[in-house]
Chain A
Amino acid sequence: MTQRKWYGKDTGLSLRMVLTGALLIIVYLAFLTLLSFYVDFIFLLVFAALFVFIQFYFADKLVLLSTGAKLVTPQEAPQLHTLVERLCSMADLPKPRVAVINSPVPNAFATGRNQKSAVVAVTTGLLNNLDTQELEAVLGHELTHVKNRDVLVITIASFLSTVAWFIMRFSLYSSLFRGGNRDRSAGAGLIIFLVSLLVWLISYLLIRALSRYREFAADRGSAIITGNPPALISALLKISGAMQRVPTKDLREVEGLNAFFIIPALSAGSIMNLFSTHPPVEKRIARLEEMSRSVERFR
């Protein structure tokens, strides 16, 4: 029996994801077809697969190490654990490990190769700036990333992009330093270089777009799990507002982790939306306000 809900579907968002995914597949298929003419690139494919797999398999450990996030027990952070446990119970998810990062920049991230090995981390800045409901909304956003297996999805989506990047570097070196001394000419090397560059560039933009759609999906998920879209709105406002007050030095320290964060930390100016892993805060808020209205209209 299906139960009546206050929230509907976001068909537009699903369609965008399908479209982005389809474009990626087309680009990748064309790329693979071209690659198949140069058999020795199979080695590169295997090498890249290994590289990406290791990165994916150790996602939780790598990120924990590079952020300095410390796992906390329920005794050390009772409120945080209770919030996570209750949300997991509501969303029927296995409970991830919980970590805290000692940084004044208010932010949060989720990582891990699967739902069982997932880690949800928050900064001390987040804990100090947000109230319970806002913190819960941010945790809901991160748990939705876990639920949607976003680390896996983005890893798969960017695999051939990584390969293209490798080949780009490889073909550049081989044509520059060894010229066309093998069975293929220098001209072929240049073509491979240009094609890989193009594939990498297009797929990079597509993956960024996909990543932004996953963010919208995580915002939606948070609103659905917590039933409290306004709490996420005020959390996003507080985080992006506080980000502007944090010293640039602290921001630079965490900049490399932007793809994981709920709101990316940017120390200088604004960059074009096209290159961003996250949608602009105003757009995210507009969508959450739409969800807020659909709760109010529900009867």
Chain B
Amino acid sequence: MRILDTLLGRTKLAPSKVDALFRISTAYITLETTLDMQHANTAGICIKIIPSTPFERLKGDLDELLQIARRDTATEFEMVKDQYGYLWIVLRDPDFEDLVTTLHLISSTLIESGFGDQLLSSVFKFTKEAKAIYFIYTYKKGTFYPFVPLKGRERDEQYELKLGALLEPELPVEKNRENWYPLWELPL
């Protein structure tokens, strides 16, 4: 069918995958115990905005859902629009599990409302000796990759490779290094 799509020039986006998101919960234990990493009480999700009424409605629904989460699990949230026209929902919660479940809830809500295509990535922030380490989950691939930014738009690539290799058994790590896209100016 892919050949037919190419021949007819039909654009079909790969469906967003959400289930692998939960794998970060197990990987987190390894990160904490063997790598001495702490999670930074924050995670975020990046969504491509469709400037339209149905999308605004969805945003309203998400807001309601997150208000409930704030009451139930004390997960704080904030919605920010970045300079590229993407919506970031930044979550804050000392309980790592709550962060993962809330991100999963947001993702499934988007898919159920027919906006699954708009999911770009989820980002989990960790720290080790004042160094920020991010794990980025790409929805279209259903894989994770590490992102360790340094000063001046540089990346600690060696450390990223090491992390990727170490987490391989527990986390679906993105195989193609070229797809480890940086996310600069993260709002978390």
Contact = CB atoms under 8 A, between A and B. Distances in A.
Is chain B a partner of chain A in the same complex? Answer: yes
A227 B49 contact: yes
B157 to A, nearest CB: 13
A147 interface: yes
Contacts of B111: 3
Contacts of A82: 84, 184
Name which of B9, B52, B178 has the most chain A CB atoms within 10 A of its CB: B9
A150 B181 CA distance: 26
Contacts of B112: 4
Interface residues of B, number: 43
A3 B178 contact: no
Contact of B9 (A90, A148, A226): A148
B33 interface: no
Counting chain A residues whose Cβ lies within 8 A of the other chain, the interface size class is 35 or more
A228 B51 contact: yes
B50 A227 contact: yes
Contacts of A148: 6, 9, 11
A82 B186 CA distance: 13
Interface in B81-98: 83-86
A213 B10 CA distance: 11
Interface in A60-92: 74-75, 78, 82-83, 85-86, 88-92
Interface of A: 1-6, 9-10, 13-14, 17-18, 21, 74-75, 78, 82-83, 85-86, 88-92, 94-95, 132-133, 136, 144, 147-150, 153, 213-214, 217-218, 220-221, 224-228, 230, 295-296, 298-299
21 contacts: A4-B116, A6-B115, A9-B10, A14-B10, A74-B182, A75-B153, A78-B184, A82-B84, A86-B86, A89-B120, A89-B181, A91-B13, A144-B9, A153-B7, A217-B8, A217-B10, A224-B13, A227-B55, A228-B50, A228-B51, A299-B57
